[in-house]
Each structure stands twice: as C-alpha cells, then as structure tokens.
Amino acid sequence: MSGDNNSFVRTEMISERIPPAADRGLVKWVRENLFSSAFNTIMTFVSLWFIYSLVVAAAPWFLNGIWDAETVRECYDLLDGKSGACFAVLNERFPQLIYGFKYPSSEYWRPNLASVLLLVALAPILFRKLPRRLLAFSAVYPFLAFWLIWGGSILTSVSAFLGCVIAIGCYSRFSSRSFAIAVLIGLIAANVWWIIGGYIVDLNDSVLALKDVPSRDLGGFMLNLLLGTIAVCLSIPLGIALALGRQSDMPIIKWICVFFIEFIRGVPLITLLFVANVILAFFFPPGTSLDLILRVLIMMTFFNAAYIAEVVRGGLAALSKGQYEAADSIGLDYTQSMRFIILPQALKISIPGIVNVSVGMLKDTTLVSIISMFDLVGMIRGPILSSTDWNGVYWELFGAAAAIFFVICFSVSKYSQWLERQLETDRR
Amino acid sequence: MAEKLKLEVSDEIAIKVDSMNKWFGSFHVLRDIDLTVNRGERIVVCGPSGSGKSTLIRCINALEEHQTGQIIVDGTELTSDIKNIDRIRSEVGMVFQHFNLFPHLSILENCTLAPIWVRKIPKKEAEETAMHFLEKVKIPEQADKYPGQLSGGQQQRVAIARSLCMRPRIMLFDEPTSALDPEMIKEVLDTMIELAEDGMTMICVTHEMGFARQVANRVIFMDDGQIVEQNEPEKFFRNPQSDRTKLFLSQILGH
C-alpha cells in the first residue's frame, strides 16, 4: 500500500506454498530441539557425552553376563575378576520367580494357559473393533481361570457361573418394575442356587478334577499378576459406583460412600494388608476361615476403588451442567442419562487418572511380600537371596523384577494413550 | 421486515402457571407468576438479564424446582413425582443457549438416543425420523459428523432437530441465538419461524425483536422476577405502558 493511497483490492488470491527447507522435517526438528541456542548446543553435547559414558560403563556388565552357572561362586569363577552380571540366577530360578516355590511343576501348564487365555478375554474389552461375541468368553473366563489355577472339580466353577447367570436373569426379568426389588430377587436366587449347587459339587467332586493347589502355594509373578488383574478389574466398577453414590441426593447413600472413600484413602495400604492378614480373621466365626488371597484381594480392591472413585468424581465434575440438563430435558431417566451421556464422557476424562491409580495398584501388589506371601519380590527376598547358592545377587534379581513390571506398566500406559486418542471425538 | 405470521390459536390450554414462586436460597427469583399459554401460541419473553426469564421456562420442564404455586403442563401437574416430571420432559422440547449437544455421539446418535430409549421406537424408524428432522433444519449431510465439527448455527439447528425427534407438543427456547455469530443467527431464526408456521406451541426467551414482531402473538416483559407487561407485539413495541418497559425498549432498540 502506498502512502498517499490507502485503498487496496486483491485481484488474485494467493495459493498455498510449502514452508522453506529449513522449516521442514528432520532438519527443523534438530534445529529447534537440539541447537536452538548456544546454551542448548552445549547442553546437547554434554548430554551426548553423558549418555556415551553411561553406556560404556554399563555395557561390559551386560555383555560379560554369565547365563549358565549353578551357583554364584561358579559365576565368579567364570567371570575371573572381570566385571559382569550373573544372569544365571534368572535362568536357574526362573520357575520360582514366575510360579513361586510350591506350585507343583507338573501343573505349570495351567497358569500358562490361564495367562494366555487372559489376553484373549481382555482383547474384546480393550479393543472395541473386535467382534462383540468374544465378550461371552470374557464372561466365562474368570470361572475358567479359577478352575485352572486352583484346580479341583470343574463343577465348582460351573456352579458359580450358573449362579451369576441366574442372578442376572432374575434381575433383568424384574428390573422393569423396581431396581431394588430386582437386585434383591437376583441375590436371593443366586444364593439359593449356590447352596443347592454346593451339595451337587460335593457329591461329584471328581468330575474333570485338576490337582488341588491351595492358595498358600501360589507365588511368584503369577501372584502379582493375579492380584493386580483381579483388584483392578473389580475396583473400576466399584469406584464408579462410589463416585456416583457420593453425588447421590439420598443422604444415607452419600454418607456411606463419603465415609468409605475418606476412610480407605486415609489409611496406608500396608496397614490394610496387615488387617487382612491378622485382624480380619477375628471377625469371622471360629472354624471358618476366609482364604488369605481373598482377604488381600478385598483390601486391595477397596483401596483401589476409593482412589478411582475420586478420579471419576473429578471427571463427573468436569462435565458442564448443560450435559446433565440436556439429558434430563430429552426425557432420559437417571440410569439412562448416566449410561449414555454422563459416564461415557466422564470416564473418558478420567482415563489418565484411572490408569495412573491402577498401574500404581499393579506395582503395590509387591507389598504382599511384607505379610509373608511369596510374590515376585517375596521370592527374591526370601527363598532365593537367602539360599547359599545365590547369596548377594541383588542387581540381577531386582533388575529383572523391575524390567518385568516396567514392560507391563508401560504397555498399560501406552494402551491408555491410544484409547484416549480413539475416544477423541470432540476436538477433531 | 418480513410478513407477520397469521396463525390460529386454539382454546385448549397447553401450559398454566398459577401464582408460582421460586427462591434461590433467600433470593426471590420468580414472584407470583401467572401465565396461561394456549396451544399454538408463540410467546416471546424478554427482559434485562437476571430478571428470571430463563428460570421461568426452566421451571416449566422442571430443570428448576418451583417452591409454591402450580405449574400444569399438558394437563399434568408438575410435582416432585419423578414419573410426572419424566413424562412432561418427553412432551416438552428444550433448546439451550449453549446447544448442549452430546459431544461423544454423532449428530444422528444425538437425535435418535431419546426416541430409542425413552419412546422405545425401533432404531431404524428412529433414524428415519431423525433424518426427516435433520432435513427440516437443512443439515441432513452432517448426520455422521460429531458436534465439534459443526459451526455454532449448525449445532443449534441440530439441537432443535434433537428436540423435535421426540415429537414434543411444546418447545421452549432459552436464548437460542445469544451465543451465535451474527451470520448464523438468521439460519436458526429461520428454522424457528418454520416451526411456528407448523403450529408448534413455543415459548422463546430472546432479544431478537424482529423475530418477536414477525412470529410472536404475545410478548412478555419481565423484570425483577415478575411479569411487568404483556401484549400483542404491535402494541407492545409501539405503545409500551410501563416505564420499565419503555426504558428497556429504548435501550435495546435505541442503537
């Protein structure tokens, strides 16, 4: 525009052009991220030097590692004064690290099969694109896995499964009348069936029977995976229910939920585990004893659920009031508006928080080693390190435990990021 | 100015509000509201902000609870009985200032959700109805998109279609054009005018006085939680009686 004439009319529109070469691709990334200023250039070289010396220092330890030896002394003999890891312990004690030291070795195929099937059962829950019919297997899986890991007659699992089917059947039969009545009838029907089923199972306890493995014989990473998976899977629905309960208009339900959440959150998990181990037994009539794993599971589920409830509450609070009002104004009732409008959005917001808490729970399963259960860490601290054969092989064992947990937790975290992107419909 | 709509108003009463009062805490938002709306009436409610006009129409479908007095919608009295409330809400459509579409559902799903789950209409039939109303608001081609991909005007028209899919007998509009850019206001108002031509009973809270002149058969002016003046639009705009109305009109029409 010239100084004396301020009017301007564009006669031709400018078409799009690509940015200059220095502002594209790898060159742009390197320039912007590594060499954007003198200070950053220096820091880049310092970091490169640091990474280099770290690799140089650690590489021999890994590369000289001994994978084949019977004892730690044999390891040192083979290393002959060089620095190197004694990975042989992982090799020799592998079954103990994975299954614990009491699980009968002839039955290792059972937990193996259960963990492979776990992936199959989780797949349709984690990936919405898979055929929905696979969910039927996910529903059967918990009962199948129980039979595989603990053994006994398959009738126990079948009976438990049928009880659940009966409960759901009764619920959906009566749910159109009243929610509370339907739940009550479902519970009664299931319990009646379980009592009858119990007698039938007792009479035929050899049908398709696998060798019994008592809970105290479970151990190793299998125990961590078992506790973590079950606690996380149960605590998500319980957490959602608690979060909704906390928002309830009914004061008694609200107070129960608030008290539960605040109490559980205010107590360290390790305290709850000691309670599960020692004190809980006092509350049951003499002679009856609840399985230790079950007691620990209850505590872990409660603990995780309390945290998830708070995460979900945050998600619920993040939704605008307009969403609740719009759902109300088109005539949806409470259950429908929660199911179709509120929870899908609130849970999407809560995914990072839920995953954060659940990954923490997965790792906290190693705390059971303190109440003398032999999980992965319990096995390392107890039977392996205290044996004369492998005394003092700390780095290799704990490093391996860290690596196993890292792989699992990192995959879970990557999955959650992928899921968040999948559900991102509002900012496309 | 477009041609004034001439439409029959029936004698049948659609909404009756009888000496209704509402408080927010100790703040008296609505004071002794009396209002009778016949079937087929198009009513525009205007007034300064905070005068209680939004609260009034939110009381009519129980988004807000009134404390004293009576509201009868379509022959059913609004009480705390949840069954009555759900029934009235499915008969009364509501359009919000900020659209409040469901961002995680496609446009078509937004429109079919309530018919399928509340009216128990088969999915296919509900989708046909939804497409019919999306055509009516002139955006059938957006059916598979998500609300976030649409402009404000398009979103508001989807919101209107979503309400219409429930086949309501009464439509409430809560400042439907206040959050829109000027060029989008017209497309929403045109949709509302079409709706009025079809004989829908409407209550609109709006500051679009052109719309009021053209469509409304009655204009209600509210201030301080009470109805200050109501009249036919011609008389209301040409010859307002109360000083408050005169002041308000001079402020919004003065520039």
DSSP letter for each residue of A39-96: HHHHHHHHHHHHHHHHHHHHHHHHHT-----SSHHHHHHHHTTS----THHHHHTHHH
Kindly list the distances between the CA atom of residue B191 and the CA atoms of B93, B146, B188, in Å, as whole numbers in the listed order: 15, 21, 5
**Distance from the B109 Cα atom to the nearest Cα atom in chain A, whole angstroms:** 10
**Distance from the A338 Cα atom to the nearest Cα atom in chain B, whole angstroms:** 12
Tell me the C-alpha distance between A70 and B122, whole Å.
70
Using the beta-carbon criterion (under 8 Å), do A331 and B90 form an inter-chain contact?
A: yes
Which position has the higher pLDDT, B182 or A283?
B182
Q: In sequence order, which residues have a C-beta less than 8 Å from that of residue A350 and are 6 or more positions away?
A: A311, A312, A314, A315
For residue B147, how many other CB atoms are within 10 A of its CB? 22
- Find the angle CA(A267)-CA(A270)-CA(A275) to the nearest 5 degrees: 80
Q: What is the DSSP letter of B178?
A: T
Tell me the C-alpha distance between B178 and A373, whole Å.
64
pLDDT of residue A26: 82
pLDDT of residue A313: 94
CA A227 to chain centre: 9
With H, G, I as helix, E, B as strand and everything else as coil, classify residue A22. helix
CA B136 to chain centre: 18
Q: Please, what are the domains in chain A?
A: 155-208 (no CATH), 213-427 (1.10.3720.10)
Mean pLDDT of chain B: 89
Using the beta-carbon criterion (under 8 Å), do A328 and B89 form an inter-chain contact?
A: yes
pLDDT at B110 over 90: yes
Which position has the higher pLDDT, A165 or B7?
A165
For testing the chain B interface, which of A329, A341, A428 should be mutated: the one with the most B CBs within 10 Å?
A: A329
DSSP β-bridge partners for residue B201: B170
Tell me the C-alpha distance between B101 and A345, whole Å.
12
Which tens digit of pLDDT belongs to each residue from B80-100? 777 888 888 888 999 999 999
- Quick one: which of B228, B250, B254 has its CA closest to B241? B228
Mean pLDDT of chain A: 87
Tell me the C-alpha distance between A88 and B223, whole Å.
85
Q: Are B208 and B177 in contact, with CB atoms under 8 Å apart?
A: yes
Burial of B119 (0-12, 13-18, 19+ CB in 10 A): middle
Tell me the C-alpha distance between A107 and A1, whole Å.
86
Using the beta-carbon criterion (under 8 Å), do B118 and A332 form an inter-chain contact?
A: yes
pLDDT of residue A3: 54
**pTM of the predicted structure, to 2 decimals:** 0.84
pLDDT of residue A207: 73
Tell me the C-alpha distance between B177 and B153, whole Å.
8
CA A289 to chain centre: 28
Using the beta-carbon criterion (under 8 Å), do B118 and A423 form an inter-chain contact?
A: no
Which position has the higher pLDDT, B173 or A289?
B173
Between β-strands B13-24 and B92-95, what pairing exists: parallel, antiparallel or unpaired?
unpaired
Which position has the higher pLDDT, A209 or B166?
B166
ipTM of the complex, rounded to two decimals: 0.91
**Nearest CB to B104: which of A331, A336, A345?**
A345
Reported confidence tier of residue B1, pLDDT bands at 50, 70, 90 = very low
pLDDT of residue A428: 45
Tell me the C-alpha distance between B205 and B45, whole Å.
5
**Nearest CB to A336: which of B61, B117, B166?**
B117
Q: In sequence order, which residues have a C-beta less than 8 Å from that of residue B30 and are 6 or more positions away?
A: B20, B21, B22, B52, B55, B56, B59, B66, B225, B226
pLDDT of residue B85: 87
DSSP β-bridge partners for residue A53: none
Helices and strands counted in chain A (H then E):
18, 0
- Quick one: which of A80, A66, A110, A107 has its CA closest to A396? A66
Residue of A nearest to B172 (CA): A329
Long-range Cβ contact pairs of B80-87 (< 8 A, separation 24 or more): B82/A333, B86/A331, B86/A333, B86/B118
pLDDT of residue A126: 87
Which tens digit of pLDDT belongs to each residue from A144-198? 888 888 888 888 888 888 888 888 888 888 877 777 788 888 888 888 888 888 8
Between β-strands B170-174 and B92-95, what pairing exists: parallel, antiparallel or unpaired?
parallel
Q: In sequence order, which residues have a C-beta less than 8 Å from that of residue B192 and are 6 or more positions away?
A: B160, B173, B176, B202, B204, B211, B215
Q: Is the CA virtual torsion A195, A197, A202, A205 positive or negative?
A: negative
CA B198 to chain centre: 15
Q: Within chain A, which residues score under 70 in pLDDT?
A: 1-4, 281, 286-289, 425-428
pLDDT of residue A1: 47
Which tens digit of pLDDT belongs to each residue from A250-289? 899 999 999 999 999 999 999 999 888 887 767 777 666 6
pLDDT of residue A366: 92
Residues of chain A contacting residue B103, judged by C-beta atoms under 8 Å apart: 345, 425-426
**Distance from the A307 Cα atom to the nearest Cα atom in chain B, whole angstroms:** 25
Q: Are A364 and A296 in contact, with CB atoms under 8 Å apart?
A: no
Using the beta-carbon criterion (under 8 Å), do B63 and A323 form an inter-chain contact?
A: no
Residues of chain B contacting residue A325, judged by C-beta atoms under 8 Å apart: 63, 94, 96, 100
Both structure tokens of A251: 């004061």
